Amino acid sequence: MLTPDTEGQPPFLPPTPAGVARAAELLRAGEVVALPTETVYGLAAHALDEKAVRQIFSIKGRPLIDPLIVHGLDVEFLSTLAHFTPQARELTAACWPGPLTLVLKKRPVVPGLITAGRDTVAVRSPAHPLARTVLQACGLPLAAPSANPFGYISPTTAEHVRTSFGTKVPWILDGGPCAVGLESTIVDVSDPTRPPRLLRPGPITAEALAQILGQPVHGPESSGRIDEAQGLDAPGLLTRHYSPRTPVALLKPAEPPPLTPDQHCAWVRMGRHNKETTPPGDTDIFWLSETGNLTQAAQGLYALLRQLDEAGYAKIFCELAPATGLGATLNDRLRRAAGQG
Ligand code: AMP
Ligand code: MG
């Protein structure tokens, strides 16, 4: 039951004590295991084992200049890897475990491979019960970028991981669909003498961070720019990222798509609000939420984009969300899906 099928599709590791024990054993042996977090599924490996971490980069086709987030149970555990500043402690007290990643000064034990040679490391304590049970069982810090080929849409189900990688990732712990559905917020609080910097908008909004810290949180400043010396500021900020293969075009809230003669298109909307809408021409309409609930829209966005990408549409029109709070994060991901980050 818990051995991989190398011919057909690999079976999932079940979300049971046996599944967790097997995942922990594999991770301790230096293997890569895909596992659920509350944001998206991650491709996890022992963060201090360079050989194991190298496999993550190779499986994802991820450039080595793109540093990885290290996951751990709590501040105490992650303090062995990073220096927590007073601002970091305020944020963790309010948001951990949860979808917030902190960039902090690293300790020498963290390999340069994880940080792309920087003196900072990104750390997070995930809230997903299964991820936490695995962290507890293996006792390791886990590097775990999203379990998708580099640049493609992040996975929010075990099936998404299997569809992308097949037998390349034989170990997938199935925890059902992710509750949040968007990648974590990343904030740099490594230097107590500088204001905090938002490197990637996420489920914990800039407004929420500002309220916790009692000061505005700005950024990202260098969208998609590659700095030769430093590498990418946060490669999740590449202008094209989280992208389907099908072209994506953005629409303002409530703006109808243009008539596209002879093209079979999809129109993704945030909410239906009980209104009947007739799309122009040969366009199919999809609602992320009946009521325009953005938490629900975030949960379902990547699964819908993957489904539409497989369905053979000529173009996917996406309605932007109202631009505050979680809407700003959704719009960030939609812009990157459209290559307009
Ligand atoms: P992923 O896990 O694929 O969602 O990507 C992790 C994100 O964290 C990437 O965009 C990384 O660039 C970012 N990140 C990881 N470590 C650092 C760091 N030391 N400084 C800035 N960004 C980082
Ligand atoms: Mg990713």
| DSSP string for 49-111 | -HHHHHHHHHHHT--TTS--EEE-SSHHHHTTTEE--HHHHHHHHHH-SSSEEEEEEEPTTS-
For the chain, the distance separating the N- and C-terminal CA atoms, rounded to the nearest angstrom, is 44
Q: How far apart are CA 34 and CA 32, in angstroms?
A: 7
pLDDT, residue 148, reads 97
Query: Can you give the pLDDT at residue 278?
Result: 84
Backbone dihedral region for residue 181 (phi beyond 0: left; psi -120 to 50: alpha; all else: beta): left
Task: Kindly state the tokens that stand for 120.
Answer: 């900072």
**Between the CA of residue 209 and those of 74, 93, 324, what are the distances in Å?**
19, 12, 13
Ligand 2 centroid from CA 154, angstroms: 6
What is the reported pLDDT for 223?
Answer: 42
Nearest CA to ligand 1 atom 1: 145
Which CATH number describes the domain made up of 12-213? 3.90.870.10
**β-strands 120-124, 69-71 pairing:** parallel
Helix (H), strand (E) at residue 162:
helix 158-165
Q: Which two tokens stand for residue 338?
A: 């459209």
Beta bridge pairs of residue 41: 36
- Give the residue extent of every domain in the chain: 12-213, 248-337
Tell me whether residue 214 is exposed, middle or buried, using C-beta atoms within 10 angstroms of its C-beta: 0 to 12, 13 to 18, 19 or more. exposed
Q: Which atom of ligand 1 is nearest to the CA of 115?
A: 19
Q: What is the pLDDT of residue 7?
A: 57
Q: Is the CB of 66 under 6 A from ligand 1?
A: yes
C-beta of 236 in contact with ligand 1 (< 6 A) = yes
Would you say the CATH fold of 248-337 matches that of 12-213?
A: no
Instruction: Tell me the two tokens of residue 209.
Output: 């961070």
Return the pLDDT at 329.
Answer: 96
Which DSSP symbol is given to 243? -
Count Cα atoms within 13 angstroms, Cβ side, for 10: 26
Helices 86-95 + 206-213 axis angle, to 10:
120
Q: How far is CA 101 from the centre of its chain?
A: 11
92-135 per-position pLDDT tens digit: 999 999 999 999 999 999 999 999 999 999 999 999 999 999 99
- 241 token code pair: 């990222």
The pLDDT value given to residue 263: 95
Distance 68 CA to ligand 1 centre (A): 5
pTM of full prediction above 0.85: yes
Q: Which atom of ligand 1 is nearest to the CA of 145?
A: 2
Single-letter code of the amino acid located at 95: C
Q: Which residues of the chain have pLDDT under 70?
A: 1-8, 220-240
Per-residue b or e along 275-296, where b marks 16 or more CB atoms closer than 10 Å to that residue's CB: eeeebeeebeebbbbeebebeb
Dihedrals phi, psi of 19, to nearest 5 degrees: -65, -45
Give me the CATH code for the 248-337 domain, please: 3.40.50.11030
pLDDT score for 149: 96
